[in-house]
Amino acid sequence: MSFQLTILGTGSATPVLTRNPTAHYLHIEQDGYLIDCGEGTQNQLLRYKLRPTRLKYIFITHLHGDHYFGLIGLISTLNMHRRTEDLWVFGPKGLAEIITIQLKYSDAWLNFKVHFIETETEKSYQLFENESVTVTTIPLIHRVPCCGFLIKEKKGKRKLRKEVLPNDLSIEEIKDLKDGLDILDKKGAIKYSNATLTKPEIEPKSYAFCSDTLFHEPIIDIVKGVDLLYHEATFLEDLTPRATQTCHSTAAQAAEIAKRANVKKLVIGHYSSRYKDLDPFLFEAQKIFTNTVLSIEGLSLEI
């Protein structure tokens, strides 16, 4: 299964010319999943040649503007492109009202239906599933209700070894092989062994997105062992009191979560506008968790 992340925005609330507000785009199978939608997100989609027409699901972590101010513009543009396919938008209480009232007073009539699903931010639960993935919420501690999202591939079927596959198999027998079954003859004996004709499915991949939050230990159990963890790192360690005051995290704290959760890879972002040089973020995090990378706009990571 194709499971690729493209980072569209790496900055925090105060705008800077070199960094856009938060937005991550996931391409899973043929569908687009957008997590957060700061100002300028639709421009970033164009810049990095990501097709908005594939966008099907949008997840908003919380109602601070740098995480959703781009949503009404994106919806309006999709409408001008004559979209007719439904769009699912997940976010905290108030998001549906905000978007609906903006559409109302701009006299905008959509050609497609927007399904708003309200998130509960104080507990972890399965928010959504389709045939490809499940999405679970990650409660976070911020100044307003906020949750992150854990996106996991569903377990796939076994893969056929085409080079040894007999020619006389029926469609039903091929389906059984993919489901892990042996092919039996009329007497119930094994005619073709599943282990001989198939190979194990690829281990399902996982991605966790932890938006604005204090250092919060309960995150660890939820994201344990994920392939890729994004965790905000607004400040460096010398400004830990400022991070605590504003309900944000440092690069060191993000790395500590990654280390204790035994994740495979950490990507940090949401840098405060006070920082011009980002190398100290990487240095600080890698002292604790070696496999850390910086969020860079346009960076694509195959999960």
Residue 99 has pLDDT above 90, yes or no: yes
**Final residue of a structural domain among 199, 229, 264:** 199
CATH, residue 101:
3.60.15.10
Domain enclosing residue 70, as ranges: 3-156+202-302
**Final residue of a structural domain among 199, 223, 250:** 199
Identify the helix (H) or strand (E) that includes residue 258: helix 251-261
In angstroms, the Cα distances linking 37 to 49, 68, 69, 152 are 17, 5, 7, 21
Residue 210's pLDDT is what?
Answer: 98
Catalytic residues: 66
Same domain as 163, residue 99: no
- Which residue has 């100044």 as its token pair? 143
Mean local confidence (pLDDT), 262-266: 98
Same domain as 244, residue 134: yes
In angstroms, the Cα distances linking 77 to 71, 83, 108 are 10, 9, 11
Residue 22 has pLDDT above 80, yes or no: yes
**Final residue of a structural domain among 143, 174, 199:** 199
Same domain as 151, residue 163: no
Identify the helix (H) or strand (E) that includes residue 24: strand 23-28
Residue 73's pLDDT is what?
Answer: 97
Residue 159 in contact with residue 179, Cβ under 8 Å? no
Report which residue type is found at 179.
D
pLDDT in tens, 121-169: 999 999 999 999 999 999 999 999 999 999 999 987 677 788 878 888 8
Same domain as 271, residue 141: yes
Q: 29-43, 98-112, 131-145, 165-179: which range is least confident on average?
A: 165-179
Count of Cβ atoms closer than 10 Å to residue 168 Cβ: 8
Residue 222 has pLDDT above 90, yes or no: yes
Residue 1's pLDDT is what?
Answer: 66
Same domain as 149, residue 34: yes
Strand partners, 88: 57, 115
Helix (H, G, I), strand (E, B) or coil at 237: helix
Confidence (pTM): 0.89
Same domain as 222, residue 89: yes
Nearest-angstrom CA–CA distance, 51 and 73: 16
Same domain as 232, residue 145: yes
Helix (H, G, I), strand (E, B) or coil at 6: strand
Same domain as 290, residue 240: yes
Same domain as 278, residue 145: yes
Token duo for residue 152: 């996991």
Same domain as 191, residue 212: no
pLDDT in tens, 70-81: 999 999 999 999
Residue 285 in contact with residue 232, Cβ under 8 Å? no
Number of structural domains the chain divides into:
2
Mean local confidence (pLDDT), 22-38: 96
Same domain as 169, residue 139: no
Residue 103 has pLDDT above 70, yes or no: yes
In this structure, the strands spanning 55-59 and 31-35 are parallel
Mean pLDDT of the chain: 94
Same domain as 125, residue 87: yes
